[in-house]
Structures are given as C-alpha cells and as structure tokens.
Amino acid sequence: MKEGADIAGIASLIGDPARANILTALLSGKALTPGELAREAGITPQTASSHLAKLEAGGLTLTRRQGRHRYVTLAGSDVASVLEQLTSLAAGSGRLRTRPGPRDPDMRAARVCYNHLAGARAVQLYDSLCRRGALTVGADGITLTASGHALVEGMDIDLAALKAARAPLCRECLDWSERRTHLAGSLGRALFSSMEERGWLKRIEGSRTVRFTRAGAAAFDAAFPPPDAPAAAG
C-alpha cells in the first residue's frame, strides 16, 4: 500500500452525519459546549462525547476548559475551508438537506465562515477588490497590491501586524452557496472584524447568518461596490 496522507481516515470522520452536523455548527466560529453540539446534531450527550473524542483525535477539533465547562472549536481555518468547500461540492452534486425557513435567503446573502464573511456579500467584496486592482490572482495565490494596502488601511486594519503573523494574509475560499471565490486568510478575518466594529453587520444568535444594518449595507456597497453600481461623481 502506498504511503501518504490518510484521506480516507479524515473523510470517514467528516462523513458521519452526526459528526458532519457537529462540524457544521462549529463553522460559526464560536466555541460551543458538548451539550450544545449534541442538540445541533440531534444526538444524546453521551453519543456526542464519543464523536467529539474521535474528532479531536483526528485533529479536526480542539477542546478548551474554562472552570467546570468544556468548549469545542474547529482546529483551525484549514478545517473550516475544507468544510466550506465540501458543502459547495455537495450542493453542486445535488446532495442537499432541506432546511426550510425564512433564514435561508439571509444565510445565502451573508454568513460567517469560521472567522470571515461568506455568501453573496463576501463574493461582492472579493470581486470588487479584484476589479479595482486591490487584489491580484496568480499561480501562487492571491496578492494584496499597493493600492490594496491603502484601501485596507482605510478601514483601520493594521497590515503590518497581519503580515507579522504566521497565518496567510490572503486565501481563496470557495463559497458553497455562490460557488465562487470569497476572501479568507488573516485579511478576510480582519475585514470581517472591522465591519463588526463599525456596526455594519451583526450576527444572528444561534445561526451562522449575519445581517447588515441599513446603514451598514450602504457603507459596504460604497466601500465594495457591485459591478453594476453607478460611477461616483468626479
């Protein structure tokens, strides 16, 4: 047998329906307790504990203790990226779970993908940055240009601190609902945090959905205009 990465082992961890529900719940970026994850997965706390042990042993989740409580998170942004892309693959192949309700259009419009913005709004942001030459896409991935530096710093983001960190500055993430690229990496995370701090958007409790305020949507469209937006007056 050939040596190499154990793709089958990771796939079997993700492929179990209960574990898939647990991992999807953690895409919100929030740390959740085993009890909360059991409810998300529709299983008993005892069964959830067994699944969580397997996920942690497989390097997909981390457990942190605070006092008497345990909190579970995804092991990192790489795990979140894989889950988002698997969701896109499942949707593209017609393997969909029906979850009726008024929040579905909102989730397609804007949601959190672990720690950055996803959905139609995120694709709008990415496309706007590319059209304006703030981002260039090549064989080595995404690069923030000099004009992009000025634009990002205008949102009070400390680029020097981001570049000093070990995490990649810009990463592509395939959006599961739009099936197009949105921006991840430390810059994607910083832009999402900046929008939260400015009050442009807020998270919906118990959901990955984020909702823009009326003023926030207008500010977002001004900062990252869609392709059909009228040109600003000179």
pLDDT at 23: 93
Q: What percent of the chain has pLDDT over 70?
A: 90
pTM of the full predicted structure? 0.67
- CA proximity to 34, closest of 85, 83, 66, 70: 70
Can you tell me the mean pLDDT for 25-40? 86
Query: Which residues, 6 or more positions from 126, have their beta carbon under 8 angstroms from its beta carbon?
Result: 135, 180, 181, 182, 183
Tally of CB atoms within 10 A around 150: 11
Greatest distance between any 2 Cα atoms in the chain: 66
pLDDT at 139: 79
CA atoms within 13 A on the CB side of 66: 6
194/41 Cα distance (integer angstroms):
32
* pLDDT tens-place string over residues 109-161: 999 988 899 999 999 999 999 999 999 988 788 999 999 999 888 888 999 99
Q: Is pLDDT of 99 > 60? A: no
pLDDT at 84: 80
Q: Is pLDDT of 94 > 70? A: no
Q: Is pLDDT of 234 > 50? A: no
Per domain, the residue ranges of the chain are 7-75, 81-95+102-223
Q: Is domain 7-75 classified as CATH 1.10.10.10?
A: yes
